[in-house]
């Protein structure tokens, strides 16, 4: 059963011992142990009390396997990224992510970048400057893709904008298999970073020559991952 594992998982996440949790629930430690091993199913009023303690819904506690979510997301960490040069392009369309990624991969071949550096990193982020009419009436959205250029690489191949991202501090999380349930998993990654930063939103104005947030996807040992980066000084502190 999932219930016992969920109780144990949420208790440990709250950094509570069985004794401490038992005291909060006004039961014995043995009772908590029996709940967590599924020897005994807690009564409804106890389950409601747990939902209050763990700040979760009854449906999540009883029906979902909450332990699997812990394997999806890495802990959030702060990294200082050195400055890097990039070649970038933006597309506004009904499917901008795939359109601009395909465009940049073609540019990477034509420019000689992928021959010189087969593992060149391809980053992506939302392009926010799309009008409401474009979004609502035509279903258009914007997305930017950018190759990180290795030191010394030069090309005259047209069709991109060359830019520099200054040295900056980013909060980073890794999402495993992000496209299994894209909306839930990727959004959840952003949410976890914002909670870590105690932030409510991305600033409308952010430091020049610093990408406020971006994504990087890659494969490792047969598993697909996405790293999400949010610039620590481009967020509004204090939850909205």
At 31-54, the pLDDT tens digits run: 999 999 999 999 999 999 999 998
At residue 2, the pLDDT reads: 82
User: Do β-strands 77-81 and 84-93 pair in parallel, antiparallel, or remain unpaired?
Assistant: unpaired
At residue 65, the pLDDT reads: 81
- pLDDT at 89 exceeding the cut of 70: yes
Higher pLDDT, 165 or 201: 165
Mean pLDDT of 224-239: 90
Mean pLDDT of 25-34: 94
How far apart are alpha carbons 130 and 138 in whole angstroms?
11
Mean pLDDT of 156-174: 98
Query: Over the stretch 149-160, which tens digit does the pLDDT of each residue have?
Result: 999 999 999 999
At residue 122, the pLDDT reads: 98
Mean pLDDT of 148-177: 97
**Domains recognised in the chain with CATH numbers:** 2-67 (1.10.260.40), 77-237 (3.20.80.10)
At residue 69, the pLDDT reads: 64
- pLDDT at 221 exceeding the cut of 70: yes
- pLDDT at 147 exceeding the cut of 90: yes
Whether residue 73 contacts residue 129, with contact meaning beta carbons closer than 8 Å, is answered with: no
Higher pLDDT, 13 or 210: 210
DSSP assignments along the chain, one per residue: -HHHHHHHHHHHHTT--HHHHHHHHTS-HHHHHHHHTTSSPPPHHHHHHHHHHHT--HHHHHHS-THHHHHHBPPPEEEEEPPEEEEEEEEEESSHHHHHHHHHHHHHHHHTHHHH-TT--EEEEE-----HHHHHHH--EEEEEEEEEPTT------SSEEEEEPPEEEEEEEEESTTTTHHHHHHHHHHHHHHHHTEEEE-SS--TT--SEEEEEEEETTEEEEEEEEETTSEEES--
Query: Over the stretch 55-70, which tens digit does the pLDDT of each residue have?
Result: 888 988 998 887 766 6
At residue 110, the pLDDT reads: 98
Q: Predicted confidence band at 1 (pLDDT cuts at 50, 70, 90)? A: low
The terminus-to-terminus CA distance of the chain in angstroms comes to 37
Mean pLDDT of 114-119: 97
Q: Looking up tokens 């020559």, which residue turns up? A: 209
At residue 178, the pLDDT reads: 93
Token pair in block for residue 226: 């996405």
199 DSSP β-pair partners = 237
């Amino acid at each position: 059963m999932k219930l016992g594992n969920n109780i144990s998982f949420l208790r440990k996440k709250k950094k509570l011992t069985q004794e401490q949790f038992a005291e909060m629930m006004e039961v014995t430690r043995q009772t908590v142990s029996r709940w967590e091993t599924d020897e005994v199913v807690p009564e409804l009023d106890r389950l409601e009390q747990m939902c209050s303690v763990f700040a979760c819904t009854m449906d999540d506690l009883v029906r979902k396997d909450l332990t699997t979510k812990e394997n999806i997301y890495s802990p959030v960490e702060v990294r200082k990224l050195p400055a890097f040069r990039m070649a970038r392009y933006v597309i506004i369309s009904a499917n901008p992510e795939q359109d601009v990624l395909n465009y940049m991969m073609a540019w990477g071949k034509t420019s000689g970048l992928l021959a010189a550096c087969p593992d060149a990193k391809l980053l992506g982020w939302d392009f926010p400057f799309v009008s409401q009419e474009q979004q609502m009436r035509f279903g258009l959205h914007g997305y930017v893709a950018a190759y990180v250029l290795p030191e010394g690489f030069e090309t005259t191949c047209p069709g991109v904008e060359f830019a520099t991202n200054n040295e900056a501090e980013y909060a980073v999380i890794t999402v495993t298999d992000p496209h299994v349930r894209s909306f839930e998993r990727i959004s959840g990654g952003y949410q976890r970073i914002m909670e870590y930063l105690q932030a409510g939103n991305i600033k409308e104005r952010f430091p020049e020559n610093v990408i406020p947030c971006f994504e990087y996807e890659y494969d490792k040992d047969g598993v697909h991952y996405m790293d999400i980066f949010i610039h620590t000084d481009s967020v509004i502190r204090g939850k909205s």
